[in-house]
Each structure stands twice: as C-alpha cells, then as structure tokens.
Structure 1
Amino acid sequence: MYNYPNTEGYKTRHYLYLLTTIMSFLFLSHFTYAGTTKNIGTNIPVDDHYGLALEPAPTITYRFLPPAIGQQQIEQFIEQSPVLETIKQLSQRRFIFSPSLQIVFGSEDGPLFDPVTNSIHIPYQFVIEARKRFKNKAGINNQRELNQATEDTLLHTLLHEIGHAYILDRAIPILGKEEDSVDNFATILLLNDIARGDEIAMNSADLFALEDLDIDSFDDADFVSEHSLDLQRYYNILCLVYGSNPSRYQRIFDELPVSDRQQQKERCPEYFSVINQGWLHYLAE
C-alpha cells in the first residue's frame, strides 16, 4: 500500500522554512543596500568590503544666473574652473548636507550664505574685482598665474561660506566671531585635503592684504564689524599655514619686525594644532 506523507508535519516544516527565509531577508536588508552601507542620517551610500561600491552623491548643487553684459567671460571662467569639482568631492566626504546646499553664481549680493533658502550667493562682480586686484599685484607675471590666483580666492571664499552653512547644519557651537571661525574652516580644509592647499590659502590671504591697501583710515564701523580687519584675516591665514609646516615656511613672516616675527613663530604651531583638532572633530570622513 502506498503510504501518504504526514501532511501536518510537512506543513509545519514548510511554514518554519518560509518564516526563517523571510526573517533572514529582513535582517540582511536592514543592514545592507546594494553592497554598500549608508552614512548615519543621510542617504549617501559609501564603500565597504562587499558588492559594488557606489560613488557617494555630491550634496552641493550649482546654479548659474544669466550674466550681465561684460560678465559672460567670468561665468565661463567659473564653469570651467576646477574649483567646482573640488567642492563636489569635498561635499561627498567632508561636509555632507541633507538636504543639499545650493551655490548660486551671479547673484546681486554676496558673497554670503542665506540660511533661509539654504543657499550660497556669489556675484560675478566679486570674481571680477578679485581678478582686477591680482592683476595689479607684484608677482603675478602672466595670464596663467592671474587665473590661478583668482581660482584660489574663489575656492577659499566658497569654503568660507560653506563653513557658515556647516555650522548651522551641525549646530556647532561658536565661541567668538563666526567669521573668524569659517576663515579657519576654509583654511584647515585646504591644508588637510587639497593639493597645493597651502598656496591656495596664501593667495586668498593676499586678497585681504590687497583690499587693505584701499583703506586710508578706520572709523568706528570697521571695529564693530562682524569681520576682523583685512590685515588680521591675512595674518591669521598665514599663521595657520606656518603652523602646519614651520620648517617649510621659515620666511613667511619676514615682512614683520623681528620681535613680532619671532612671536608668530612661537605661537602659530600651537594655534594651528588647536584649530586643526577642533575642526577635524566635526568634519566627516
């Protein structure tokens, strides 16, 4: 006689098998996604040791407003600049924004960060004026050097404004002037993450020194401004550059009197260490 299988036992085993399969799937899907993991608090996939590695999406976008007459070349200059690619790469691993941060080129006001619209505004005129200042600077000998100095200043300025956005996004406490803090933010990123970042920082510092040449005297408004004086910003950046590599920049303060020069050389390595550790504590990796 043909023995019929025990259907009740079969159903029980089948049910346990399906339940185990479903639970395993839910467990794995909770921790993996297409072979990648995700940054906590974002939807950015990052590399790991399994499956395909997906490139993280940039968390900064760009918008170019129509340029006025005479500004078309500056718009093209910015679009073709490697600065945009540098910011894109940093936005994938150093300052990750969710929702994304928009940079608008061609605004009337700025450079500035607008917290209401979560956007940074860079006028074309700002780049034009920076270019003019560098064109008259001693040591700029050809078009390539002029373009480089202008790009360097644009990069530092963008990082400065991104610093404002990052402080707001991460609710970072600031004890002192926020403008000084984001100058430091920009310079620390250059020194840690960007090829020839020290040169970029010094070129951007030079713009503050060039702007200072236009000042014949100070009034009360200069001392109550949210920004430090141009020369203070200039020497603060140089201090960070020197502190990052004292043996390389022994002559960076040669323009100062001997006593001031020595004071800076004694102070700046420790100053760089404090500022560097502070910002790296917050910056993503």
Structure 2
Amino acid sequence: MCSNLPKEKYKSQFGIYVLTLIFSVLFYITTAHAGTTQNIGTNLPVDDQYGLVLEPSPTVNFRFLPSNTAMRQTEQFIEQSPVLETIKQLSQKRFVFSPALNIVFGSDDGPLFDPVTNSIHIPYQFVSETSQLFKKKGLFNTQREVNQATEDALLHTLLHEIGHAYIADRAIPILGKEEDSVDNFATILLLNDIPRGDDIAINSADLFALEDLDTDSFDDADFVSEHSLDLQRYYNILCLVYGSNPNRYQRIFDELPVAERKQQKLRCPDYFTVINQGWLYYLAE
C-alpha cells in the first residue's frame, strides 16, 4: 500500500518515532536498574524496590551479665555511660559487622576479643579497678573527673578490642604486633570521629602510665608478651595525639629530656600521617 503523506511529513513523523523509541529505551534502562543500586564506597543497605539508602542498623550488641552486690554500681555506671551510644554510632559508620559483634560486660576474663564466639568480654572488675587507680594516684581532683577518665579508658579499651574484631572480620594484614596496631586503631578513631577525642586518648594513655608506676621490676614475661610495655603504649598514644595537631600540643612531651623531646616532635607528625592514612584506608565511611 502506498502512503498518500507528503515526503516531508513522512520524514518528520519517522523522526519523531525514532526519538520516541530512543527515549523509551533509556527510560527502561534507568527504571530497570533502580532496584539494584550498588553501594559503591559505603556499607549502607539499599531498598531493593526503590534504590533508596536506608538508615543502617546497629551491628554491635551489648549484653550485661548479672553482677554481684559489689559490682552493681559498676554495672550501672557502664549502662548509663555515653560510651555505649558512641560505640553504637561508630558501628553504623566506621566498623560495620555482619554478623553482629557481641560485647559482653561482666565476664570473668578480659578485656579480650574471642574470635570463636565473635564477642568482646569486659569484666566489671576491670572498670572498677580503673576507677580506683585513677582515684588512688591523685591524678584528678574530683570524683566527676575520675568518672570521666574511667569512661574515656573504657571507650579506648572497647575500641582496642573492636580493632581485633575488625582485623579478623576484614582479614586485614598486620605487619608487626597486632596489639600495637589496635592501640593505633582506637586512637585514630578517637582523633578523627569523637568530640574531645584527643582528651580521651590522653586519659587512656595516662592509665598505661599509672599502671607502669605500679610495676616494680620486669621479668622475661614482660618482654615476650604480645603487648608492648605500658610506658611504650603511653608514649605511642601521645605521639599520635601530638602528630595530629603539633601546634596545640607543644608541651605534651615536657616530661622528657630535651633531646628525646625534640626527637618526638620531629618524628610524630610523620608517624601520625602514616598510621592515620593506613587505618582510614580500611575503615568504612
């Protein structure tokens, strides 16, 4: 059958048809993939139907074992502490675990990470002794300051143990002592993500310094331990804090002799940069 349409009109309608077909194909491609949006560079879940980013679910669970009368106050101290909310928020942003990581308070042993049960164990006794040590050494003037330092040390300890869990979960290669690496993990998170994280890190370092004061002598067990010596851990944290903001912490090494003080001030900014970049490479955003 021959068309009676003029050639110009025929060409115009054919062009409109082609454009309509192209737009239809593009629309189909766009909508067909709307429910399979990929989370490039993020661990946030995506709604399968609409491709919308949803609020992440907490990936850390807290469990409190029954305490005896002597530890009841410590249990309540932990439950009411803002430390738990801080860990929960970080678990949605920085270290997302699947299956969820369980943090158990009131265990007999610890602080430790158990890779078999994928759980962290924090004895009430550890928190109680930390508070007593801060108070005994007279580092702080008020009970409120003691409580704050105890919360800070608890947060650093939890992040330290979460560091072990994160290394196991992500199969992160560690060259050197893992204990030193997770000390760095905890401190880097404090300095990057937590309000007053530098103060928290310093209070946590002070705990190691106080524990060192209670050490009269060293034996072979101290030198073959998987942990560095308490005083080494203390200065390592201070080095990261100084390196993160040298202008603010000009006097952080004043207790050291002049030569060692100068050496730390030269070394720590570069040290912080290396450690910071290394951990931020692995930590989720």
Decide whether the 8 Å contact of 1:46 with 1:55 is kept in 2.
no
Using a 3 Å threshold, how does the CA distance of structure 1 residues 121 and 39 change in structure 2: closer, same or farther? farther
Match of 2:10 in 1: none
1:164 aligns with 2:170: no
Distance 1:46 1:255 in 2: 52
Match of 1:103 in 2: 103
Distance 2:93 2:267 in 1: 31
Match of 2:35 in 1: 29
Distance 2:154 2:221 in 1: 26
How far 1:24 moved relative to its partner? 7.6
- TM-score, with structure 2 as normaliser: 0.86
Count residues with an aligned counterpart: 260
How far 1:55 moved relative to its partner? 2.0
- The 5-angstrom pairing of residues 57-72 of structure 1 reads 57-72=57-72
Distance 2:40 2:82 in 1: 27
Using a 3 Å threshold, how does the CA distance of structure 1 residues 192 and 41 change in structure 2: closer, same or farther? closer
Distance 2:53 2:270 in 1: 39
- The 5-angstrom pairing of residues 1-285 of structure 1 reads 27-31=33-37, 38=39, 44-45=44-45, 54-285=54-285
Decide whether the 8 Å contact of 1:58 with 1:91 is kept in 2.
yes
SS at match of 2:117: coil
Decide whether the 8 Å contact of 2:60 with 2:88 is kept in 1.
yes
Decide whether the 8 Å contact of 1:174 with 1:181 is kept in 2.
yes
Distance 1:251 1:46 in 2: 48
Of structures 1 and 2, the larger Rg is shown by 2
What is the letter of the counterpart of residue 36 of structure 2? H
Distance 1:282 1:27 in 2: 29
SS at match of 1:96: coil
Distance 2:53 2:31 in 1: 21
- TM-score, with structure 1 as normaliser: 0.86
Distance 2:202 2:170 in 1: 28
How far 1:39 moved relative to its partner? 6.9
Distance 2:31 2:258 in 1: 70
Describe the superposition over 1:153-172 as per-residue Cα deviations: whole angstroms up to 9, x where unpaired. Answer: 00000000000000011110
Decide whether the 8 Å contact of 2:120 with 2:161 is kept in 1.
yes
How far 1:110 moved relative to its partner? 0.1
How far 1:265 moved relative to its partner? 0.5
SS at match of 1:63: strand
Describe the superposition over 1:138-164 as per-residue Cα deviations: whole angstroms up to 9, x where unpaired. Answer: 341112101100000000000000000
What is the letter of the counterpart of residue 35 of structure 2? S
Distance 1:272 1:25 in 2: 46
Match of 1:3 in 2: none
Distance 1:71 1:252 in 2: 35
The alignment-based identity, stated in percent, is 76
Describe the superposition over 1:76-98 as per-residue Cα deviations: whole angstroms up to 9, x where unpaired. Answer: 11011000000000000100111
With a CA cutoff of 8 Å and minimum separation of 6, indicate the structure with the bigger relative contact order. Answer: 2
Distance 1:265 1:62 in 2: 40
SS at match of 1:187: helix
